[in-house]
Structure 1
């Protein structure tokens, strides 16, 4: 009886902190396999997901990983906003990660000072599936306003902090570190293979941080297994991930 009461109270506290058990009445199926166990309830949390990149290589890796995640957590016809100052993304390439470019609205603003306000207003729109904000720096107060907007609308925010001037703490539910690793190629085929990443959850509110190696297999994530060969071997995450 006490265990049930404690479990119920814990869920209520997490819900008040903006970490709901369900997303739109159901668990968001990210297909992230072992990473899912790091989240509270084992479900992808709704909130601000912070990504930081300090080079062109890591920025490209973050963009690809975010696109893959978006394709898993958004509805098939869902509309997303992608807000930034200097867009380097090639929209047609999003098809590779399962995203329809016609469902992404890109907003390019040359005034960095306006980005935080624009992202906040976008997050207040419940009709959106997600908001991606590319912004270098923001303070704790600004991030709290974004988190409050997320808690009201239940719209996920992927905040890509590109080349931040300094490391700072923000009100995020997760802080991700995405690094590129050798791509995964099809056996016997030449050329560049599928994108792969070293995925680190440096912070997970009420969860368990950790590090994993993943790759994108056309429609879903796969988990990389260590190999003694120069190439990389892989293993399926689950039947649902490869369906």
Structure 2
């Protein structure tokens, strides 16, 4: 390899590390079944050793994010590891996790009184190498707080999911990805409206060294599945705009 090219590659790798992105270790680059979404990340692999931030201003977005994260946990917990879920006002009904192939008894729910407690427990839990992931529900997350969580993740390799209610654009964190999960109408196999598989509009608002984008995804009983036939864009846009007006 040309000496200059080698120096450039090494410099790019250093920049990734400085910016909070830690490349997957050998043997840990398995896909998590998100299809094209994974191509948005560096190397085309979902970053497990990272903090993932979810914007959950509306209750329905929070519920959709819970479901999407549950689907990810089903993959991350396949080796038998447990997960810690921390909050001050948990909405999630543990039994609902069974619909995503997650055994509720393998989730350690910690309901505490203050956000300070949530942050402390989250940081300590992220240091535990035996865990598959840590989920924390917060109103906000500062740059310094997110940096502490990222450092813990880099030491242990545990995946961190932060459900953040404050959608202020001025808030900056070192999270590898910022997501917004919105619920969509489900359809039965016959194409008629009804109680079909959970379906979401998955938006990557920010991807460190990657490509933001928007996709439609559903949980098809045992795995994520990209929706082949996209719904009417105009119809869905109008529905999304109505939600945005509720936020503002």
CA contact (8 A) 1:136 1:165 kept: no
- From 12, 20, 31, give the equivalent of 2:33: 31
- The SS at the match of 2:53 is strand
Change (3 A) 1:40 1:132: same
CA contact (8 A) 2:88 2:114 kept: yes
- From 147, 151, 156, give the equivalent of 2:154: 151
Change (3 A) 1:7 1:166: closer
Change (3 A) 1:61 1:20: same
Q: Greater share of strand residues, 1 or 2? A: 1
Match of 2:42 in 1: 40
2:80 matched to 1:95? no
2: distance between equivalents of 1:108 and 1:24? Answer: 36
Change (3 A) 1:23 1:86: farther
Match of 2:246 in 1: none
CA contact (8 A) 2:126 2:160 kept: yes
Give the TM-score taking structure 1 as reference length. 0.86
1: distance between equivalents of 2:183 and 2:55? Answer: 13
2:209 matched to 1:211? no
CA contact (8 A) 1:29 1:72 kept: no
Change (3 A) 1:182 1:191: closer
2:62 matched to 1:65? no
Shift of 1:219: 0.7
Cα deviation code 1:180-216 (max 9, x no counterpart) = 1111322278741111111111111111111111111
2:46 matched to 1:53? no
- From 108, 114, 118, give the equivalent of 1:111: 114
Match of 1:201 in 2: 204
2:218 matched to 1:223? no
Which piece of structure 1 moves more, 65-74 or 29-38? 65-74
- How many aligned residue pairs are there? 231
2: distance between equivalents of 1:181 and 1:189? Answer: 14
Give the TM-score taking structure 2 as reference length. 0.84
- The SS at the match of 1:117 is helix
- The SS at the match of 2:131 is coil
Shift of 1:127: 1.1
Q: Greater share of helix residues, 1 or 2? A: 2
2: distance between equivalents of 1:198 and 1:149? Answer: 30
